[in-house]
Amino acid sequence: MIKIGSLTIDSPVALAPMAGVADRAFRELCVQHGAGYVVTELISAKGVSRGDKGSKELMQLGENEHPCAIQLFGDEPETMADAAVKALEYKPEVIDINMGCPAPKVSGHGSGSALMKTPDLAYEIVKQVVDAVPLPVTVKIRAGWDDDSINAPEIAMLCEKAGAAAIAVHGRTKKQMYTPPVNLDVIKAVKECVSVPVIGNGDICSAFDAKKMFEYTGCDMVMVGRGAMGNPWIFGEIINYLKDGTIPTPVTLEEKMSTMLAHIHKLCQYKGEFIGMREARKHTAWYMKGLHGAAEYRRQASYLNTFDDIKTLVEKVLKENSNFQ
């Protein structure tokens, strides 16, 4: 159990805010499989303030994905505060501030992980957002900008001072992007220097990874990102392993394909078949990981255009992998 301000979260595992992945369909699926807390894709504060249609769509939350945080990025305190107020309309439980995105289109303009280089600005953004909304405000940071500027503990303490209710730490620098290794020491250091809950993030691809992060860092919750792609079962596996040591067993092929179809159906329902099926291509490729003939299935997935196409592909997969366990 973890308390983020007035919010109580029963599950020890959360879904990370992945751009282009953690949309409403995927968030709902992960909650269904045990994620106790989810965060939207990162959303431009400037876009929200301008009333941008795309930003509004990203803030749409379903009834079956709570508690949920809306994550905002930007480098202007006033704009971030204004966007946070506008986000309240969509009924999130938390407002999350992105200080971790390493993508050039975000960090290259002073937002995301670039805020790790400007502690005073980071503090002011958090303070103004906290002052503007009645919800708990959290912050997601990285270890630092590069190996010569590991300053997550400093930034975390400033965020707490500004009123942040929890800190999520991705144990890599901006320069690392997503390459190994994950620095568990920096997550541990953040946990030791703040009193608010700390959420550990980075390379949690199994229940064993989650337990290792909990035991080594002392963090209050773990956040799963890429480890959940094509693998929403990871949340339940982590919960069960932490609870009673239950060793995760692979899902059956039938369950994997059934879950994938349900996921893609929701994508089409929320975004329309044209957009939904194009986004389904990458998800389908992730679900195919580990199957005999996966490379060919991924190639075929890149040509999916209709929901009937993916049903046909699933029939082929089931037939050709009937002995998959």
Residues annotated as part of the active site: 101
Residue 134 is given by DSSP the state S
List of residues 6+ apart from 280 with CB closer than 8 A? 264, 267, 268, 301, 304, 310
Please state, in angstroms and as integers, the Cα–Cα distance from residue 201 to each residue in 141, 287, 322, following that order: 10, 22, 36
Give CA–CA dist 70/300, Å, rounded.
Answer: 34
Are the C-beta atoms of 95 and 45 separated by less than 8 Å?
Answer: no
Long-range pairs of 318-321 with CB within 8 A, sequence gap ≥ 24: 318/253, 318/254, 318/257, 320/292, 320/293, 321/253, 321/291, 321/292, 321/293
Give CA–CA dist 213/94, Å, rounded.
Answer: 24
Q: Strand locations in 145-270, DSSP E?
A: 166-173, 198-201, 221-224
List of residues 6+ apart from 273 with CB closer than 8 A? 306, 307
Give CA–CA dist 23/40, Å, rounded.
Answer: 7
Give CA–CA dist 239/248, Å, rounded.
Answer: 10
b/e per residue 276-293 (b: at least 16 CB within 10 A): bbebbbebbbbbbeebee
